[in-house]
């Protein structure tokens, strides 16, 4: 659930209740902070409801306790219901950025590799596959490794500074282009 203050935050508790009451605890509902992905969603910071507030609201109805991360680079913080009714996750992409542990890359349908959800440019992998003198699998693997090694993306940690940069938001890739 993407939580947007003033739009759907009244549904946090009903959503949690629904997932508690169905699925025998087998489906983990995750709440993610509303983000400024792309340049067309009219994002405003005052519409972001911090995950800490999501936890606070849920805890008042269904007491929660934190759990250890399931894997390194896990984007969601895990919480379990104290009564054993399952888990939820919260993704604090705005208020508690986790770029230093980020291990995600995204590939567009045109074969461009984006190293960050907020990137302005992708790396053209299709050219390696289809260009003159197409690369071998090993060469492509090495090229991807080199691109990743050179990565310096940490948009969410720099959000405030980048938002202040004139025109910086206009070039970010849209989520539908890279598949979310």
Please report whether residue 121 would count as binding ligand SF4 according to CB under 6 A: no
Contact window for ligand SF4 (CB under 6 A) among 5-13, 22-30, 95-103, 167-175 = 95-103
Q: Which residue stretch of 24-32, 122-130, 148-156, 167-175 sits at the interface with ligand SF4 (rule: CB under 6 A)?
A: 148-156
Q: Does 177 participate in binding ligand SF4 (rule CB under 6 A)? A: no
Exactly one of 17, 20, 154, 175 binds ligand SF4 (CB under 6 A); that residue is 154
Q: Is 12 in contact with 54 (CB distance < 8 Å)?
A: yes
Q: Quick one: which of 22, 44, 82, 104 contacts ligand SF4 (CB under 6 A)?
A: 104
Tell me which of 108, 153, 162, 175 binds ligand SF4, using CB under 6 A. Answer: 153
Pick one of 116, 125, 173, 178: the residue that binds ligand SF4 (CB under 6 A): 116
Smallest gap from Cβ 79 to ligand SF4, in A, equals: 20
Residues engaged in binding ligand SF4 (CB under 6 A): 98-99, 102, 104, 116-118, 153-156
């Amino acid at each position: 659930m993407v939580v947007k203050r003033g739009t759907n935050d009244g549904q946090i508790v009903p959503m949690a209740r629904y997932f508690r009451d169905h699925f025998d605890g087998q489906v983990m509902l995750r709440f993610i902070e509303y983000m400024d992905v792309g340049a067309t969603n009219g994002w405003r910071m005052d519409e972001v409801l911090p995950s800490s507030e999501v936890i606070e609201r849920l805890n008042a109805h269904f007491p929660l306790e934190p759990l250890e991360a399931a894997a390194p680079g896990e984007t969601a913080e895990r919480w379990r219901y104290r009564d054993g009714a399952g888990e939820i996750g919260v993704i604090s992409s705005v208020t508690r950025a986790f770029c230093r542990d980020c291990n995600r890359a995204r590939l567009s349908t045109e074969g461009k590799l984006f190293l960050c959800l907020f990137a302005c440019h992708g790396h053209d992998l299709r050219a390696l596959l289809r260009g003159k003198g197409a690369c071998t699998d090993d060469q492509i693997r090495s090229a991807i490794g080199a691109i990743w090694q050179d990565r310096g993306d940490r948009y969410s940690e720099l959000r405030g500074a980048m938002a202040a940069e004139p025109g910086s938001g206009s070039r970010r890739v849209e989520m539908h282009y890279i598949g979310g």
